[in-house]
Amino acid sequence: MQSKPLAALVLGAVAGLAQAQGNVTVYGTIDEYVGHVRSSTGAHITGLNDGAILRSRLGLKGSETLRPGYDVKYTLEMGVNADTGASAESGRLFDRQAWVGLSTPAGEVRMGRQNTEIFLTGGAIDYTERTTFGSVINTFGVPSRYENDISYRSPRKAGLMLSLHYALPENGGTGATRNNKPVIQAALDYENGPFRLGYAGLQASPNSLTATVQRKVSYHHLYANYKYSAGTVYLAFARSNNSTANANGRNAGTILSNIGSPNNFFAGTDPNAERFYNMWQLSADYRLTPALRVGALAGVIRDTSGGDAGARGANVGAYYSLSKRTTLYSFLSYLKNQDNAGFRFGSSGAPSANLAGDDVNGRSLTGLQLGILHRF
């Protein structure tokens, strides 16, 4: 069966199920923006892109109460390129999430394709929720989800919540495939009044048969924010070696896929795994009116190897709520690459209209986003 008829069949079944059972929720977002990117070379591009803040998606979630305090939960979620109507990731129907879990008084266990704790704590990183052109940490690239993942989330006690993940290597194949390693994650989040503090990180080892570079790939971030009367102040630090070159720029690729595609693992042959980056970011927002919120951000990516492959950036932006579900937004962003760096703007999803190559490597970039987000 071809993918389009299959998708239509599945979505039809989802709609019928949602009508038949009250504990099933169909939900989604549509996020479209006009993005303009200009390089210090003079090159520029303008395009209609999907997902400045929240990638467009369609999902269903539900639960069944087994007895008081014990619930079965599930989520199936597919990404959509709303500017073209195409699936966000070819080869997967539910590319964003596909998991089932059991919630108990002792915590919740989930199994399937899941978002990382790094992704889930995006709202604690900066005022843009770590997704727009202007977020320097997002520009580096953020591990977002992995398949074959078993996770545990504790109840929140005394403000603390612990989360653990283990993405199975599934080593039942032959040859090199049976020597893949798991992706492991840990996170600790603390909330108390206006304060929120936390850590989230992951680590993956190279394939033991193919690896010529034994360095593990890791991503760690720390965050702290403070809510005051009219907004929030955000401070974040991240450290990772998950950056490499591809045809789009010297830092436009990853060693370990951020979305577990084509799989959770990596060969261990990229010497860029030896280069670690430290990232610092400070931002704050301020609510001018009940409908209008403004913010600003500044950050730096430091190449700790001394190879001049870092960057720095800044951003200002605004959100205007037309209703509880619909928001207009605008962001103006700046990014300066060092001589040997090739970072380029990212968003909630990779922009379909972006610069690359010599217009990115060692260059300064300016970006403008004007868009609308609707939740349903």
Structure tokens at 137: 């940490």
Report in angstroms the alpha-carbon separations of 305 from 252, 263, 302, 329, 343.
18, 29, 9, 37, 16
Cis amide prior to 262 (ω within 30 degrees): yes
Indicate the DSSP class of residue 157.
B
The total number of structural domains in the chain stands at 1
Beta bridge partners of 283: 234, 297
Question: H helices within the chain, ranges in order?
Answer: 3-20, 117-120, 136-140
In a domain, 332, yes or no: yes
In a domain, 15, yes or no: no
Ramachandran quadrant class, 307 (left: phi over 0; alpha: psi -120 to 50; beta: rest): alpha
Write down the pTM of the prediction.
Answer: 0.92
Contact 126, 135 (CB under 8 A): yes
In a domain, 337, yes or no: yes
Q: How far apart are CA 47 and CA 137, in angstroms?
A: 23
**pLDDT value at position 1?**
39
**pLDDT value at position 265?**
87
Q: How far apart are CA 309 and CA 361, in angstroms?
A: 10
**Residues across the chain:** 376
**pLDDT value at position 172?**
60
Q: How far apart are CA 334 and CA 345, in angstroms?
A: 9
**Amino acid, res. 216:** K
Q: How far apart are CA 126 and CA 137, in angstroms?
A: 9
**pLDDT value at position 175?**
62
Select from 246, 270, 182, 187 the least CA-distant residue to 222.
187
Backbone angles phi, psi at 7, to 5 degrees: -65, -45
Per the structure, the complete domain to which residue 142 belongs is given by: 31-375
In a domain, 3, yes or no: no
In a domain, 23, yes or no: no
**pLDDT value at position 349?**
84
Residue that has been written with the tokens 């990382």 in this structure: 116
Contact 127, 297 (CB under 8 A): yes
**pLDDT value at position 3?**
47
Q: How far apart are CA 27 and CA 340, in angstroms?
A: 43
In a domain, 262, yes or no: yes
Q: How far apart are CA 270 and CA 368, in angstroms?
A: 34
pLDDT per residue as tens, the chain (376 positions):
344 454 555 555 555 554 445 589 999 999 999 999 999 999 999 999 999 999 999 999 999 999 999 999 999 999 999 999 999 988 899 999 999 999 999 999 999 999 999 999 999 999 999 999 999 999 999 999 999 999 999 999 999 999 999 999 876 665 655 678 899 999 999 999 999 999 999 999 998 888 999 999 999 999 999 999 999 999 999 999 999 999 999 999 999 999 998 778 899 999 999 999 999 999 999 999 999 999 999 999 999 999 999 999 999 999 999 999 999 999 999 999 999 999 999 999 889 999 999 999 999 999 999 999 999 9
Whichever domain contains 85, its CATH number is 2.40.160.10
In a domain, 123, yes or no: yes
Q: How far apart are CA 86 and CA 92, in angstroms?
A: 12
In a domain, 16, yes or no: no
Q: How far apart are CA 372 and CA 261, in angstroms?
A: 29
Q: How far apart are CA 239 and CA 250, in angstroms?
A: 18
